[in-house]
């Protein structure tokens, strides 16, 4: 025969709820610490504080993309051509490696800012999440200088200068991504987005 338990007192109910909440908070805290520890050990170079870009000085649609609430932009600088086309192929492989995280993959876009003024090549036109943003040289140098992706001489999109800035939703530049193999870049992107985007 089953015994009827006496009803719990308000103090007992409070204690049970408190223990449950503490367990939840500790788990969340430890999970975040582990996640940020992984991120700090990745190839990404995190800014101490996120950088906000002066979007009023930038051309459209880049300024609109930077202010968007659900986009993560990989920002490169250069002049579209053979080197930058090869870098596009590299990032296609990076994004393909994120197929296991469709919510993350869907938020990523790649933007090449450049000053040649010529129309982008077929390679860039055929990738819906890749964009070429023309701007003046003064605009480009001001932006890249602020983000820390200035060129080495006039060489862009090459091993000597293919670092990308990672701009999160609502104009929050979070990190730099040095050129690395696609698996390492994909893992860095995943960790960055999971750490700073509550919607994924």
The model's pLDDT over 70-92, given as tens digits with 9 standing for 90+, comes to 999 999 988 777 788 889 999 99
Q: Which residues of 144-155 are buried (b: 16+ CB within 10 A; e: fewer)?
A: beebebebeeee
Query: What is the spatial distance between Cα 22 and Cα 18, in angstroms, rounded to a whole number?
Result: 6
Q: How far lies 51's CA from each of 126, 149, 198, in Å? A: 31, 13, 19
Phi, psi of 112 (to 5 degrees): -105, 115
Rounded to an integer, the average pLDDT of 111-115 is 90
User: For tokens 């610490």, what's the residue?
Assistant: 33
Between 34 and 86, whose confidence is greater?
Answer: 86
Which of these ranges, 10-14, 87-91, 122-126, 153-157, has the smallest mean pLDDT?
10-14
Query: What is the spatial distance between Cα 134 and Cα 118, in angstroms, rounded to a whole number?
Result: 8
The full set of domains in the chain, from first to last, is 42-196 (3.40.30.10)
Residue 189 is predicted with a pLDDT of 94
CA nearest to 56, candidates 171, 175, 172: 171
Check pLDDT > 80 for residue 4: no
Q: What is the DSSP letter of 41?
A: T
What's the chain's average pLDDT?
81
Confirm whether pTM is higher than 0.85.
no
Residue 35 is predicted with a pLDDT of 44
Rounded to an integer, the average pLDDT of 17-39 is 45
The model's pLDDT over 147-185, given as tens digits with 9 standing for 90+, comes to 988 766 666 777 667 889 999 999 999 999 998 999 999
Residue 43 is predicted with a pLDDT of 80
Would you tell me the crossing angle of helices 82-96 and 182-196 to the nearest 10 degrees? 60
Query: What is the spatial distance between Cα 40 and Cα 53, in angstroms, rounded to a whole number?
Result: 24
Which of these ranges, 52-61, 131-140, 142-151, 154-163, has the smallest mean pLDDT?
154-163
- Residue 51 neighbours by CB distance under 10 Å: 15
The model's pLDDT over 184-197, given as tens digits with 9 standing for 90+, comes to 999 999 999 999 99
Q: What is the DSSP letter of 70?
A: S
CA nearest to 11, candidates 2, 3, 19: 19
Between 29 and 57, whose confidence is greater?
Answer: 57
* Reported confidence tier of residue 198, pLDDT bands at 50, 70, 90: confident
Structure tokens at 62: 């880049």
**What's the full length of the chain, in residues?**
200
Query: What is the spatial distance between Cα 148 and Cα 164, in angstroms, rounded to a whole number?
Result: 9
H or E, element range at 77 = strand 72-77
């Amino acid at each position: 025969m089953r015994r009827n338990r006496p009803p719990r007192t308000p103090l007992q109910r409070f204690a049970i709820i408190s223990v449950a909440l503490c367990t939840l908070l500790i788990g969340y805290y430890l999970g975040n610490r582990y996640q940020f520890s992984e991120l700090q050990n990745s190839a990404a170079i995190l800014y101490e504080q996120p950088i906000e870009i002066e979007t009023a000085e930038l051309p459209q649609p880049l300024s609109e993309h930077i202010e968007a609430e659900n986009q993560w932009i990989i920002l490169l600088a250069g002049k579209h051509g053979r080197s930058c086309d090869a870098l596009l192929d590299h990032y296609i492989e990076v994004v393909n490696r994120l197929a296991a995280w469709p919510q993350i993959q869907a938020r990523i876009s790649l933007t090449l800012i450049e000053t040649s003024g010529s129309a982008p090549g077929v390679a860039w036109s055929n990738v819906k999440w890749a964009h070429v943003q023309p701007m003046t040289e003064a605009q480009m140098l001001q932006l890249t200088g602020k983000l820390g992706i200035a060129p080495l001489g006039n060489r862009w999109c090459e091993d000597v200068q293919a670092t990308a800035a990672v701009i999160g939703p609502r104009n929050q530049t979070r990190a730099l991504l040095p050129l690395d193999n696609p698996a390492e870049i994909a893992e860095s992107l995943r960790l960055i987005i999971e750490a700073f985007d509550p919607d994924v």
